[in-house]
Amino acid sequence: MASSTKRTIAVVGATGRQGGQVVRHLLADGWRVRALSRTPAGKKGAELGGLGADVVYADLEDAASLDVAFADVSGVFVMQPPGSRSIEIEVGQGINAANAAARAGVAHVVYGSAGPGNTETGVQQWDAKLRVARGMEDLGLPLTVLRPMAFMELMVDPSFYPQSSTWYTMPRLAGVDSRIPWLSVRDLGAVAARAFAEPERFIGKDLRLAADVKSLAECRRVFREGRGKNPPRFPMPLFLFRRFVGDDILTMWRWLRENPVDADTGPTYEVLPTAMDVQAFLQAVR
């Protein structure tokens, strides 16, 4: 995009992991960015403001706030926050964003989805995203769906669930040998920016995103080889873990054990040749 035109993209979840990376890549590409937050004056909002984003109030539960936030933008990045623990809430919030994008006549919606494909699995947060994407299609929105499975940040970011998750609880539920498609949040942001840069190439696409497909045992080995030590394991009884994260994460990880996923990394590297595999990611975040 020619930076002189400085068109605007609105980013839902801008203060979070995905949205934060989308904001950074869009700013780097020369877009004007409207970063949405329920607390725009907070620390993360101030950080985004410092980077050059216009940080505005919006709540996915408040349609009027979305109308203001989506006014006169060229595109919208939509995601849903984690942790609602209710498929109805997640679907409702996604559809609120979709309806607002339709009312605003937005030229391109990039939707941060998740999951293995287009069939419902019983994992609520994946099924919710399928329903939201269908709702967006029904509204006739010019749509690109980005569909990662597991973020590599799960391996190193202590803010993800209790620390026990990836190296202790997840292997117990998903199995150490189940192959898992991985993508870094940074690369999710980069792919979203590519989509906004080339709408004619990306509108109508539903991209399953994986830069690497590795079992937890393989990831553990890569971690150990790269860092000379085992990844941290923080044992936590399942009942306690469930209390932190709810049932759906447990359902998801058990699903991974029972349903082998065979993801092709080719399409991701076609869109983003610099995408990081697990080894490159673990080196980059040292």
Ligand X SMILES: NC(=O)c1ccc[n+]([C@@H]2O[C@H](COP(=O)([O-])OP(=O)(O)OC[C@H]3O[C@@H](n4cnc5c(N)ncnc54)[C@H](OP(=O)(O)O)[C@@H]3O)[C@@H](O)[C@H]2O)c1
Nearest C-alpha neighbor of 262 from the set 222, 214, 226: 214
Q: Among residues 2 and 43, whose Cβ is nearest to ligand X?
A: 43
Q: Among residues 1 and 242, whose Cβ is nearest to ligand X?
A: 242
The answer to whether residues 163 and 126 touch, using CB atoms and an 8 Å cutoff, is no
16 binds ligand X (CB under 6 A): yes
Single out the residue of 6, 28, 41, 61 in contact with ligand X (rule: CB under 6 A). Answer: 61
Residues 91-120 close enough to bind ligand X by CB under 6 A = 114
Q: Among residues 92 and 226, whose Cβ is nearest to ligand X?
A: 92
Do β-strands 212-215 and 179-183 pair in parallel, antiparallel, or remain unpaired? antiparallel
Q: What tokens appear for 62 in the block?
A: 């408040």
For residues 21 to 60, the per-residue mask of contacts with ligand X, x marking binding by CB under 6 A and - elsewhere, is: ----------------xxx------------------xxx
Distances (CA, A) of 177 to 95, 172, 263, 275: 36, 11, 15, 23
- Considering the complex, what minimum distance in angstroms separates the CB of residue 170 from ligand X? 10
171 binds ligand X (CB under 6 A): no
Single out the residue of 101, 141, 143, 150 in contact with ligand X (rule: CB under 6 A). Answer: 150
151 binds ligand X (CB under 6 A): yes
The answer to whether residues 42 and 20 touch, using CB atoms and an 8 Å cutoff, is no
31-48 burial, b if ≥16 CB within 10 A, otherwise e? bbbbbbbeebeeebbeeb
